[in-house]
Amino acid sequence: MIRMTESFELILGNEVMARSGYHPVWFGHASMFAAGDTRTCECGSVNCIETFLSKKGLAITYCDAQQKNWKAMSASETDKLTESILPAITVGLVEGDAEKRRFWDSVLSRYMLHLKYSLRNVGCAYLPSEIIIKGEIISSLPQLKEKIRAFFEQIPQQGRHDHYLHWLAGIVCTIE
Ligand SMILES: [Zn+2]
């Protein structure tokens, strides 16, 4: 099991890990390339996976899309936004008008781009034979779950053109 963040888990299974009994490995603070985004982490490093794929990471992606200066927010403001982000997206995607739904969809698409790069950066190193994706973000956001499912479905076609993702073709991926 590779725990990437508190609210997002990517479980990569392979023989090496099976022999070790799937001991959890914490990958939240592995740095990743992030398509031009730069986020300083509380640990002092830059672009740690948890600054993108956790609930807080999603909240920051929302701020970027709104051009809100999240760096100027206090810790309690950030915590409040982090706790409100999943309900806000759910309501926005279900009850919002067309413009709102497009906006929230674009926030999720940016999250997907970050997930893709994290897979390229971390998953590529492990060459797993199976992947399980789960966590609060996935279980609370059916629309994101659908995007991830669609992403894995198109890998056999797209993976041929993406050297860093072609290892995903043929892998059994479960999204819980
Ligand atoms: Zn960190």
pLDDT at residue 108, rounded to an integer:
96
pLDDT at residue 120, rounded to an integer:
84
Structural domain containing residue 126: 2-175
- Strands, E, within the chain: which ranges? 2-3, 9-13, 25-26, 130-134, 172-175
pLDDT at residue 79, rounded to an integer:
94
CA of 40 to the centre of ligand 1 (A): 8
The residue among 123, 134, 130, 124 whose CA lies nearest residue 171 is 130
CA of 6 to the centre of ligand 1 (A): 12
CA of 86 to the centre of ligand 1 (A): 22
CATH code: domain of residue 165: 3.30.420
CA of 27 to the centre of ligand 1 (A): 9
- Map residue 23 onto helix, strand or coil: coil
The residue among 97, 101, 122 whose CA lies nearest residue 133 is 122
Is residue 158 exposed (0-12), middle (13-18) or buried (19+ Cβ within 10 Å)? middle
| pTM, entire model | 0.85
pLDDT at residue 134, rounded to an integer:
82
Distance CA 68, CA 158 (A): 34
Helix (H) or strand (E) holding 158: helix 155-158
pLDDT at residue 162, rounded to an integer:
74
Residue with tokens 């199976």: 130
Is residue 16 exposed (0-12), middle (13-18) or buried (19+ Cβ within 10 Å)? exposed
Q: What is the CA radius of gyration of the chain?
A: 16
For residue 75, give Cα distances in angstroms to 105, 130, 173: 26, 37, 36
The residue among 141, 136, 145 whose CA lies nearest residue 174 is 145
pLDDT tens sequence for the chain (176 residues): 455 565 666 666 555 455 555 554 567 788 888 989 999 998 899 998 889 999 999 999 999 999 999 999 999 999 999 999 999 999 999 999 999 999 999 999 999 999 999 888 877 777 677 777 888 899 899 999 999 999 888 887 766 677 777 777 777 788 88
CA of 139 to the centre of ligand 1 (A): 24
Q: How many domains does the chain have?
A: 1
pLDDT at residue 160, rounded to an integer:
65
pLDDT at residue 31, rounded to an integer:
86
Distance CA 66, CA 44 (A): 25
- Map residue 176 onto helix, strand or coil: coil
CA of 49 to the centre of ligand 1 (A): 7
CA of 96 to the centre of ligand 1 (A): 34
